[in-house]
Amino acid sequence: MFQTTRRRLALWYTAITAVLLLLFATGVYMYVRNTLIERVDDTLKHVAEVVERSLVIQPEEAASTPYQLNLEVSFRNNAQAVEDDHIDLEWFSPTGELLWSTLSEHLALPVHLNPGGETVHLSSNYLLRQVTKRVQFGRHVLGYLRVSHPWFEVTKPSRQLIVDLSVGIVAMVMSTAAIGWWLSGLAIKPVRESYQRLKQFTADASHELRNPIAMIQTNVQVALADPDWEPQLQRQQLKVLERLTQRLGRLVNDLLFLARVDSGMVQLERQPVHLDALLIEVIEEQQLIALQKGIFLSLHLVEMPSKDRGRGGEGEMGRGGDGEKTGITNQGVDGGEDSSGFPGLAEDAFTIKGDWNQLARLFTNLVSNAVQYTPALREKPKEASVQVELQRLKGNNYLRGRRFQSLVRVQVRDNGVGIPQSALPHIFDRFYRADPARKYQAEASSGLGLAIAKAIVENHHAQIEVESALDQGTTVTVTFASN
């Protein structure tokens, strides 16, 4: 399919270019040909004027012809001058009788007035360009002067121009065909890749949807086959159906969100967002899951200049005790107190312009992924940790090729299973899962979390980066322009 489209694009490109070249060549040919004709006509008119000025007119005694032209004296010098330029002269009486000519053979052409120039076909291979002018002395017509020039002065360069243009057009069309094939390949490449992604996305979505639907159908069929189920067993079966429908609903919502992002229908409700408050909510929502897995989940708030990266005093807010492994720490350099009650940080230190709901979804996905792929270490539970660090960078910083005076950076760092280097280029692909991480999943994942995260980051003109090493952990960094 794509090869056929590529051939069509190349053919259309070549055909359009060939037509344009033909039009251009035709224009060049007509311009050059008309220029040559005008040059020949100007030469003939100039010769006619020179000859007319050099005519020797003598008075005649006869009353009917008071003036007579001395042909011998008039044309002797002119004949020698025009012979080198391949120009022939003919003199006719007022009645049209040929009186004098430089031609070796008489032309069987009647004389008629033509001061503008015309082309005369003597034979298929012999053409002349002629100018015929009436010569008068006062009101008395002395005769007609016809100046002729061979047409090869026009046809020879014109034919050579046709050959040159033809060779040039053929070479250009062949080059255009090759370039068109190459350009059509470049144009088709992103379309092919998009089609392959869409094809893979459709296949993966069908597979992900088919599994929960099949399980729901199976459970319903089992329930219908035995209407005398015990209430406890029936309740258990309904809980299974509830989990499956919730999973199916999440998958459909994720697919709908990505489809809306692709179509440009997702509109951001931009407003000032305090990332510190947002991350505290996300951490609180993920605390229970982290505690159940024995993972230490913490949030660090840091304000640091871009030059020395210095850190000031520390404070901590969290729940103490051996049974709870979560904490919120702040490290800063500026005075003041933020709205959350952390000393050392300005109130708007971590404020950006964005959509609260989308940003909450972004960091919920990142933190839940970190918790999900960090296995609990039962012997040394303190070593299983997920750290969320919120930093404000001051000074000249660059984001997506633009310079900003202040940036806000969020890092989600875990010491879990990590991601193999071969999988890093694909982790933001839809439905992609790195195989080594699957065995740590408590429940089936759709593989859309990071794809949604990337879409949200791009909507906010931010930047997301992932660093990971297998069996050592993963660090996801999201950088925003500060408000």
For the stretch 264-311, pLDDT in tens is 777 778 899 999 999 999 999 999 888 888 889 999 988 655 444 333
Residue 316 has a pLDDT of: 39
| pLDDT value, residue 445 | 61
Q: What's the pLDDT band for 478 if we cut at 50, 70, 90? A: very high
Tell which residue, 256, 246, 275, has the closest CA to residue 360.
Answer: 275
Among 146-155, 325-334, 442-451, 461-470, name the one with the lowest average pLDDT.
Answer: 325-334
pTM of the shown model: 0.56
Model pLDDT for residues 8-38, shown as the tens digit of each residue: 888 998 899 999 999 999 999 999 988 888 8
Homologous superfamily of domain range 267-481 = Histidine kinase-like ATPase, C-terminal domain (3.30.565.10)
Q: Which of 61-65, 102-106, 299-303, 309-313 ranks highest by mean pLDDT?
A: 299-303
Q: How far apart are CA 134 and CA 48, in angstroms?
A: 10
267-481 matches 2-157 in CATH topology: no
Contact 312, 344 (CB under 8 A): yes
Residue 163 has pLDDT above 60, yes or no: yes
**8-state DSSP, 442:** S
What is the side-by-side order of every strand in the sheet holding 127-137? 98-101, 88-92, 140-150, 127-137, 114-121
26: region left, alpha or beta (phi > 0 left; psi from -120 to 50 alpha): alpha
* Low-confidence winner among 2-6, 73-77, 169-173, 386-390 (lowest mean pLDDT): 73-77
Q: How far apart are CA 448 and CA 258, in angstroms?
A: 9
**What are the DSSP E strand ranges found in 306-401?**
314-318, 326-331, 351-354, 385-399
pLDDT bucket at 320, cuts 50 / 70 / 90: very low
And the tokens for 224?
């219908």
Q: 443 or 468: which carries more pLDDT confidence?
A: 468
> How many whole angstroms separate alpha carbon 136 and alpha carbon 117?
19
Nearest to 412 by CA among 369, 460, 350, 367: 367
Instruction: Give the domain ranges of the chain.
Output: 2-157, 267-481
Mean pLDDT over 220-224 rounds to 79
Rounded Cα distance between 293 and 374, Å, is 9
According to CATH, the topology of domain 2-157 is: Beta-Lactamase (3.30.450)
